[in-house]
Chains A and B, each alone.
Chain A
Amino acid sequence: MWKWLHPYANPEVSYHFTNKLLPWLSALTAIFLSIGLVWALLFAPADYQQGHSFRIFYIHVPAASLSMGIYVAMAIAAFISLVWQLKLADASAAAMAPVGAAFTAIALITGAAWGKPMWGTWWIWDARLTSELILLFLYLGVIALHNAFEDKNLAGKAAGILTLVGVVNIPIIKYSVEWWNTLHQGSTVSKLGKPSMSLDMLWPFIFCFIGFALLVAVIICLRFRNEILARNSIRPWVRELIQKNTVNNT
């Protein structure tokens, strides 16, 4: 059933495949991100209520939704690796975790920076910010567990189980935090609601979003390559590769 996938399940093949993919992805990222960011930060109209501080939205929202998306992707990879014993899925999950954590941190920091002019305080216990904070804890747990094991294969399996437990819990946590927030409302002046965007705000947002998603893909590909090499350091093809590279460099 999975025969068409098999050539890509070979570490060597997928290493070279990512190698070929990377320049294209990088170029696309550069295009989308530069258009998106320049458009969003310089040319898009300012919000009539929030003024220029609204522009942080173009970074905050993509970072926040990507941070959730990466966790789900990680969980899918973990599931594949646990069920079909695919070592490459393990490697890709390991490649994703720190990227996801970084984007969660970006979402939190930009959220706080946005909160300062809006609410006059760096932090409020807004439902979304709170669940983003908990998501960061979940990411850090996965990374810490991964680092605690010396054996990379075991680390991947353990982190995979934790990721799956986490992904089952994320909707529950998110729901409970939202519910908790509505229960204790009073201090919240206005939530980071989805404003109905005009088209000249929507287009730069779409470019920014795709740009950041591509950036995530590029970073994950780079890390994925390294994970493959680290996990196969004993294999002859990796040794040849290292030899070739050292010869080229000298």
Chain B
Amino acid sequence: MPLISAVNLTCIREERLLFDELSLEIYPGDIIQIEGPNGSGKTSLLRILSGLSQPYDGHILYKNEKISSCREEFHQNLLYFGHLSGVKDEMTAEENLDFNLALHGNKNEESLTYLAKINLAGFEESLASHLSAGQHRRIALARLYHNNAPIWILDEPFTAIDKQGVSGLEQLFSAHAQRGGCVILTTHQDLISIKPEQVKKITLDYDYL
């Protein structure tokens, strides 16, 4: 049974057809990389898959059920990471992670461990406004270590992350896929430490009318 599937998606932005009649099924263990030039609709596709945006036409299924009719269950099993990290400047790294975990109904006993794993040890008590852009995104990505949501939808997770961080994340992705989760991500760089045969690619292209 596919974890998440898209049925006949049509997306129109600013009177431009980004994709039409797009259907896909994503199974446990899949790592899906969505490619395409800027403005080809990668972010729109991810936002539609996560239920944040409504498609012009078509719908999204979670375990063969419309996500609008199983909102709570779907959101419990979804981790979405967008362009914006969702980290508050006025709160410390730890407070941010605690809130984010609790907001998604997770226990947050080990948030210090997760921060250490994502190389933020020593910054737990610093206000996010004092941290760099990359550290901001790390705070948000620390949620990945508390991984009980099988569906990961990640929009440009490697932006502003250093090389070591990227390889750490890649290992995290393949481990997540092995455990029976799925990862859907957009990135402009090739995945290095994940074997190419493990990654399925979807390429969105411009469709000039």
Contacts and interface: CB of A to CB of B under 8 A. Distances in A.
Do A and B touch, yes or no (CB under 8 Å, in the complex)? yes
Interface of A: 150-151, 153, 233-234
A153 B54 CA distance: 10
**In the complex, the 8 A-B pairs of residues with the closest C-beta atoms, listed nearest first:** A234-B17, A233-B15, A234-B12, A150-B14, A234-B15, A153-B56, A151-B13, A151-B14
Given A151-B14, A233-B15, A234-B209, 7 more contacts: A150-B14, A151-B13, A153-B54, A153-B56, A234-B12, A234-B15, A234-B17
Nearest to B12: A234
Interface string B51-93: 0001010000000000000000000000000000000000000
Nearest to B10: A234
Nearest to B16: A234
A89 to B, nearest CB: 15
Contacts of A234: 12, 15, 17, 209
B57 to A, nearest CB: 9
Interface in B185-209: 209
A165 to B, nearest CB: 20
A210 B14 CA distance: 40
Main secondary structure of the interface of B (DSSP, over half): loop
A243 to B, nearest CB: 14
A86 B17 CA distance: 20
Contacts of B14: 150-151
A233 B14 CA distance: 11
Contacts of B15: 233-234
Nearest to B13: A151
Contacts of B209: 234
Nearest to B14: A150
A150 B16 CA distance: 12
A150 B15 CA distance: 10
A233 B56 CA distance: 13
Nearest to B68: A85
B191 to A, nearest CB: 33
10 contacts: A150-B14, A151-B13, A151-B14, A153-B54, A153-B56, A233-B15, A234-B12, A234-B15, A234-B17, A234-B209
B92 to A, nearest CB: 35
| Residue from the set A150, A151, A233, A234 with the largest chain B CB neighbour count within 10 Å | A234
B78 to A, nearest CB: 22
Interface in B134-169: none
Nearest to A157: B54
Contacts of B12: 234
Nearest to A153: B56
Nearest to B17: A234
Interface in B1-42: 12-15, 17
Query: Of residues B12, B14, B17, which shows the largest number of chain A Cβ atoms within 10 Å of its Cβ?
Result: B12
Nearest to A232: B12
Contacts of A153: 54, 56
Nearest to A234: B17
A45 to B, nearest CB: 56
B207 to A, nearest CB: 10
Contacts of B54: 153
A234 B13 CA distance: 11
Contacts of A151: 13-14
A150 B13 CA distance: 9
A74 B56 CA distance: 22
Nearest to B53: A154
Contacts of B17: 234
A67 to B, nearest CB: 32
A234 B17 CA distance: 7
Nearest to B209: A234
Nearest to A152: B15
A222 to B, nearest CB: 22
B12 to A, nearest CB: 6
A56 B209 CA distance: 53
A151 B17 CA distance: 13
Contacts of B13: 151
